[in-house]
Amino acid sequence: MEPTTRLRARTREFLSGHDPATTDRLDFLRARFDAGLAWVHFPPGLGGLGAARSEQAAVDEELAAAGAPDNDPRRIGIGLGMAAPTILRHGTEEQRQRFLRPLWTGEEVWCQLFSEPGAGSDLAALATRAVRDGDHWVVDGQKVWTSIAHAARWAILLARTDPDLPKHQGISYFVCDMTDPGVEVRPLRQITGEAEFNEVFLTGVRIPDAHRIGAVGEGWRIAQTTLNNERVAIGGQATPREGGMIGVLADVWRERPELRTHELHQRLLKGWVDAEVLRLTGERLRQQLAVGQPGPEGAAMKLAFARLAQELSGLELELLGEDGLVYQDWAMTRPEVVDFTGRDAGYRYLRAKGNSIEGGSSEILRNVIAERVLGLPAEPRTDKDLPWKELRR
């Protein structure tokens, strides 16, 4: 029997004992995880079956056809796309057993404490300190642009543990309990009027050494796993033809013929082709992921996604004319999920500006592509070997 056929049969057997219509949503998700049908490519006992990543589609099709609930993946995207692959690859068995199940079921939301006011694009320059105190680390510092921190229970955290080493060394990777004393979350109001991002202040936060991921000083290497997965999660999501922004724009074009001009038509066609190229490139990238870990190619997907989202949202405003200036939902709220397609054109145009910053700025991603994909000479880095404490800040 083919692997896909076996997985479909296993999923149907699971459904026969867990009817989505009569089983509590959380109980169903927990049982699905325990049955290995959450991430089929994860090891047995950790939500998977050790199968190929590509086999997940067959499981998802069977569950969707049966009306099974999902785990609200957009709300827990940081946990699914960034924390989980990092914990699986670099965490201890105890950490995997503790964190992965409630992460996948959505019982525990995760956020990312990486960027800082003085270390955004230059992440390795981060200044948040973690000082060893027996079986704990005492953490002090500030993080910024932290999505969904206001709803998160856990955070993946980078902190400096040795200021005498160069900036890419001396960094360690932790899991921080966002409910611990000393963690303060403040909203950051954006150009959209909302506050989906936050700044987080850490004052004397005590983190058990058991919540350190990987060896002391290995944080930068481990963070590459997180960042590569983040860029794939942002730019490499599976979308149908005419999905996302291009679908919204195409619907406006069809519904409002009085808005059409030859020049806008040409730009729409170019946007449609670019969106299709991006979609097909994403399919190829996901096929590569099925046989290995994500690499720097994800940077190219994220870069292209940001550029296209901004171009298409701008074109939508031009197509709508004065109607595109209407933004009815401008209000101070703290959303947990970003909704591009369910909002008006004004929101999409403003929110797309953040696409070239979040998940790695476009300028930095161009360096990653040049050096790690194209093999071009690296930019001169005069501070590469200097101890962090001697760097100008």
The model's pLDDT over 131-164, given as tens digits with 9 standing for 90+, comes to 999 999 999 999 999 999 999 999 999 999 999 9
**What's the mean pLDDT when you consider all of the chain?**
90
Supply the pLDDT for residue 322: 84
Supply the pLDDT for residue 289: 63
Cβ-contact 282, 239 below 8 angstroms: yes
Percent of the chain with pLDDT over 90: 60
pLDDT, tens only, 265-303:
999 999 999 999 988 888 777 666 655 666 667 778 888
For CA atoms 46, 52, 54, 58, the dihedral sign is negative
Confidence of residue 30 (pLDDT cuts 50, 70, 90): very high
Supply the pLDDT for residue 364: 83
The whole-number average pLDDT for the span 313-336 is 83
Q: Comparing C-alpha atoms, which of 183, 218, 184, 193 is closest to residue 90? A: 218
Q: Over 60: is that where the pLDDT of 98 sits?
A: yes
Domain ranges of the chain: 3-70, 79-98+107-217, 223-373
Supply the pLDDT for residue 112: 96
Supply the pLDDT for residue 186: 97
Confidence of residue 89 (pLDDT cuts 50, 70, 90): very high
The whole-number average pLDDT for the span 362-366 is 86
Separation of alpha carbons 317 and 147, rounded Å: 27
**What kind of architecture, by CATH, is found in domain 223-373?**
Up-down Bundle (1.20)
Q: Over 60: is that where the pLDDT of 327 sits?
A: yes
Supply the pLDDT for residue 220: 96
Supply the pLDDT for residue 380: 81
Those residues whose C-beta lies under 8 Å from the C-beta of residue 314, and which sit 6 or more positions away, are: 349
The model's pTM is 0.87
Cβ-contact 359, 231 below 8 angstroms: yes
Rg (CA), the chain: 22
**What kind of architecture, by CATH, is found in domain 79-98+107-217?**
Beta Barrel (2.40)
Neighbours of 164 (CB within 10 A): 10
Q: Comparing C-alpha atoms, which of 206, 212, 56, 224 is closest to residue 124? A: 224
Active site residue 230: yes
Which residues, listed in sequence order, are joined to residue 7 by a DSSP beta bridge? none
Confidence of residue 11 (pLDDT cuts 50, 70, 90): very high
Q: Which of 62, 230, 311, 316 is catalytic?
A: 230
Name the least confident of 27-41, 173-187, 221-235. Answer: 221-235
Separation of alpha carbons 119 and 170, rounded Å: 15
Q: Over 90: is that where the pLDDT of 67 sits?
A: yes
Q: Comparing C-alpha atoms, which of 193, 176, 187 is closest to residue 146? A: 187
